[in-house]
Amino acid sequence: MEKVGVYCRLSDEDRYKKNKNDDSESIANQKSMLLKYALDQDWEVVDIYSDDDYSGAGVERPDFNRLINDCENGRINIVLCKTQSRFSRDMEVIERYLHNKFIEWGVRFVSIVDNADTNNEANKKSRQINGLVNEWYLEDLSNNVKKSLKNKRDDGLFMGSFAPYGYMKDPNDKHKLIIDENVAPIVREIFEKYKNGLGYHRICASLNERKILCPSLYKKSIGSNFVCCNFDYDTTGIWTPDTIATMLRNETYMGNLVQGKRTNISYKNHKSKSVPKSEWSVTENAHEPIVDNETWYLVQRRLKNHHRPAKDGKVHILSSKVYCAECGRIFMRNQCNIKCAGGVMEKRAYLQCKGNKKYHTCDNNKSIRYDIIEQYVLDAINGLLKKCNQKLLKEEFNETLERQNRQDTLITNLNKEKANLEKKLNESKLYFKNLYMDKMKGIISEEDFSMLREEYTKDVESYQTRLEDIEKQLDETETRKENSKDIESILKKYKKIDKLTRIIVDEFIEKIYVGALDKDTKTREIKIEWNLDL
C-alpha cells in the first residue's frame, strides 16, 4: 500500500483571488477532499501536514519542512495536495523537489484539481508552466499590495505600526498622528540642545541622569506591543547616541510624513533594502509639528557637518570650519597654559594645521590664536551685513531663484527619462515572460531562446545602468536644491552681530582658509568661503 502525506496550506494571499473557490476555501475543505481521494485510491494516509496562514513563496513553513524531512527519510512515498500551488508557488521550489529531490527519494507528487502527477512524464511541461504562472501570480500580488500601500502613503495616511516618539495615533483615525504632550517637550529639548552646540553623548547623559524613559521603554510603559529585537529592556533601557541621531533626522517632527524608505528585497526574500530617495512617499504638513521650521533647518545644517564635541560635551564655534590654505587639511584645536600679567596662568586655545602638526607634510607650521580668528570672522560677517544693501539683496535673490528654476527643470527632465526607462523595463519583462512561454510550448527552439535572452539581458542591463545614473543625478540635484539658501531672509534676519554662536557660523560660513605666516610682515591671509553664494 502507498504511504501518503497529505499537505494543506492556506494564506492571506488567497483572500485576494477574485473567486476563492478557484484555489482553496479552507484547510478543512482541503483535508476533506484529499482524504476522500486517498481512500478512493486505497492509499494509506501516514500523516496530515497543514500550514495555515503561510505564503506559498519560499520554504519557511513548519509543516512543509516536516513533510520534506519525512519524504527524505522514506516515511512517505506520495505527497498529495489539492493543487500544485498549495505545495508551492515558487518555481525554484517546484523544480528542486518535484523534478529533482522527489525523483531521487522515490517520492511521487499528486495534485487533484490541476492533475499534476510526477509519474506522468507527459505533463511535466504543464507542471512547469503552472509553476511559472503561480510564481507570476505571487509577484503580481506582491506588486499590487505594494502599490496599494504606496497609494495610501502618498495620500498622507500614516501606515506605520507604531507612532514615532512624541506622537500617538489619533484614537478616531489610526492613520493620523497627534502630538503626545507627555513626551513632546523632551523632543523639543533634544532639538534645542543640539542646535545650540551640545553633542549626542551630552544630550544622552542629561536625559539618563534625569531618568527620562527612552522611546522603547516609554512605549512599553503605555501598554504598547512594540518589541525591539535583541534588546534587554531591564538592563539597557537608556538613551543612546544612535537614538538621538535618528530623531534629529526624522521629518515627522516638523509635520511631514516620510514613508516607504525601505522595502523587502522581493516577495521571496523578506530582508529589507533601502529605497531610492526619489521613490519615498513624502507628505508635507500632514500633522501638527513639534519642532518649528527654523530649528529644524539649523539642526539639519549642523548634522551635515557633524562635529566631534570637546571633553565638556560642547562643540566649539568654529569646529570643522577652519582649513589650511596650503595643504587643504583641517586646523586642529588645542589648549595651552599661558602665563599672563602678574604670573597668573590662563588656558588659551590655538588652531594649527593638521598636515603639519600630525603628518609633518605641510609648511604652514605656525598656530593661530582661536580668539583672534573668531574676532576676524565676527568682523567679516558684520562687514558683509553692512555692505549688503537692499539692491544687492534683490540681485542675489533673483540669481538664487534662477538657479533653483534650472534645478527644477533638470529634476523634471530626469524624472521623465526615469519613467520612460521603467516603462521599457516592464515591457521587456513581459516580453521575456512570453518568450519563456513560447519556449516551454516548443514554439521556439532552445538555441533561439538563448540568443533572444542574451539580447534581452543586454537591454535590461543598459536600462538599469542608466537608471542608477539618473538616481545619482537626482540625489545630487536635490541635495544642491536643499542647500540653496534664501539670501534675502538670512541677511535681513541679522543687522549687527555682537557675539558669534554656532548657529550664526553655520548660516554664514562654509569654510575658512588660513594661509601661512609671512616671516617679514608677520601677517597671514585668511579667506572665508561664504555659505550664501556671494
Q: What is the pLDDT of residue 501?
A: 82
Q: Which three cell numbers stand for residue 450?
A: 538563448
pLDDT above 90 coverage of the chain, percent:
26
Confidence of residue 68 (pLDDT cuts 50, 70, 90): very high
Reported as a pLDDT band with limits 50, 70 and 90, residue 17 is very low
DSSP bridge pairs for 169: 177
User: Per CATH, is 3-135 categorized as 2.60.120.1090?
Assistant: no
Q: What is the average pLDDT across 106-116?
A: 89
Of 423 and 56, the structure prediction assigns the larger pLDDT to 423
23 pLDDT tier (thresholds 50, 70, 90): very low
Report the pLDDT averaged over residues 117-127: 76
Quote the CA–CA distance of 233 and 8 in Å, as a whole number: 39
- Residue 391 above 60 pLDDT? no
Distance CA 51, CA 78 (A): 18
Residues 251-261 have a mean pLDDT of 89
Pick the CATH number of 167-304 from 2.40.50, 2.30.30, 3.90.1750, 1.10.10: 3.90.1750
DSSP string, 327-372: T-PBEEEEEEEEE-GGG-EEEEEEEEEHHHHTS---S----EEHHH
Q: Which of 219-228, 359-368, 417-426 has the lowest mean pLDDT?
A: 219-228
- Residue-wise pLDDT for 172-212, tens only, equals 988 899 999 999 999 999 999 998 878 888 899 999 999 99
Domain ranges of the chain: 3-135, 167-304, 316-534
Assign 3-state DSSP to the chain and report helix, strand, coil percentages, each to 5: 50, 15, 30
Which helix (H) or strand (E) segment is 530 a member of?
A: strand 526-530
Q: Which residues make Cβ contacts (< 8 Å) with residue 435, sequence separation at least 6?
A: 444, 449, 452, 453, 456
Identify the pLDDT of residue 105: 94
- Cβ neighbours of 393 (radius 10 Å): 16
Give residue 50's pLDDT.
92
Percent of the chain past pLDDT 70, that is, above it, reads 81
Pick the range with the lowest mean pLDDT from 85-89, 242-246, 433-437: 433-437
Give how far Cα 480 sits from Cα of 24, 275, 400, 463, Å. 54, 20, 12, 26
- pLDDT tens sequence across 374-383: 999 999 988 8
Q: Residue 305: what pLDDT?
A: 65
Position with higher pLDDT, 526 vs 406: 526
Q: Return the higher-pLDDT residue of 164 and 392.
A: 164
pLDDT in tens, 135-152: 666 666 666 667 777 778
Taking the complete model, does pTM exceed 0.75, yes or no?
no
User: pLDDT digit string (tens) for 37-56?
Assistant: 999 899 999 999 999 888 87
